[in-house]
């Protein structure tokens, strides 16, 4: 399901860190990470990054509607090194979300396997028989006015994992065009932001943490 009315934000590239191996960028909400199918979906973060850094290589993605920290490799070695860290779950990702309803508990974990909902793709769904393992830890930051601000710590990196896990708790992420209904959907953007990313630098393995404050 590709966006029919794709109008990505035109703000300049927000660079968080750059050195000889890696580039960290703050992706805005509403911008694809990689090109979609069709010329009208060619504008994306990787193409914008490559205009400034032709050697940049994709390592991972964020959903179009999600904002926040993304890392790119600036050498093939860096791309391989970072790719393996993601594959082996050695990176540590933290997200901030605003969700519908006031959560009663302060912390918890969702452990629900996910699979693509084929007739409705790219939507995902919980499937205990055929789904791939997916775990998300969560911690309430504050509640009020019928919503909760929550910090999310995904242990796995399944597609739409945070969206479906919060929905399964009965607290869909505000502004979610896929999973929120009614007034929970009526927000100017998806209230989900990749706040921080901890990784090991490809040159020497030093642990580094990059973060950017949520814009909501």
- Show which residues are catalytic: 63
CB-based contact 176:123 (threshold 8 Å):
no
Pairing of strands 67-73, 192-200: parallel
Helix (H) or strand (E) holding 49: helix 45-52
The Cα–Cα gap between 186 and 8 comes to 19
CA dihedral angle for residue 124, residue 41, residue 182, residue 156, rounded to 10 degrees: 30
Q: How far from 75 is each of 36, 58, 72, 95, 215, CA to CA, in Å?
A: 24, 10, 9, 27, 31
Q: Nearest to residue 59, comparing CAs of 204, 164, 206, 157?
A: 157
Residues 6+ apart with CB under 8 A from 131: 112, 113, 114, 115, 125
């Amino acid at each position: 399901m590709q966006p029919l009315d794709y109008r990505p934000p035109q703000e300049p590239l927000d660079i968080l860190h750059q050195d000889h191996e890696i580039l960290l960028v703050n992706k805005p909400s509403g911008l694809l990470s990689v090109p979609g199918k069709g010329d009208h979906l060619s504008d994306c973060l990787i193409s914008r990054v490559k205009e400034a850094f032709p050697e940049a290589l994709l390592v991972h993605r964020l959903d179009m509607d999600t904002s926040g920290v993304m890392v790119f490799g600036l050498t093939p070695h860096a791309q391989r090194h970072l790719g393996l860290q993601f594959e082996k779950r050695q990176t540590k990702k933290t997200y901030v979300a605003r969700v519908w309803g006031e959560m009663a508990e302060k912390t918890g974990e969702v452990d629900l396997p996910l699979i693509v909902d084929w007739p409705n793709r790219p939507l995902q769904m919980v499937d205990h028989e055929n789904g791939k393992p997916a775990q998300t830890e969560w911690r309430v930051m504050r509640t009020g006015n019928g919503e909760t601000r929550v910090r999310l710590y995904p242990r796995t990196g399944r597609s739409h994992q945070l969206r479906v896990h919060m929905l399964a708790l009965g607290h869909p992420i505000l502004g979610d065009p896929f999973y929120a209904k009614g007034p929970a959907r009526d927000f100017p953007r998806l209230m989900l932001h990749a706040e921080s990313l901890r990784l090991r630098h490809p040159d020497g393995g030093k642990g580094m943490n990059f973060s950017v404050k949520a814009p909501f």
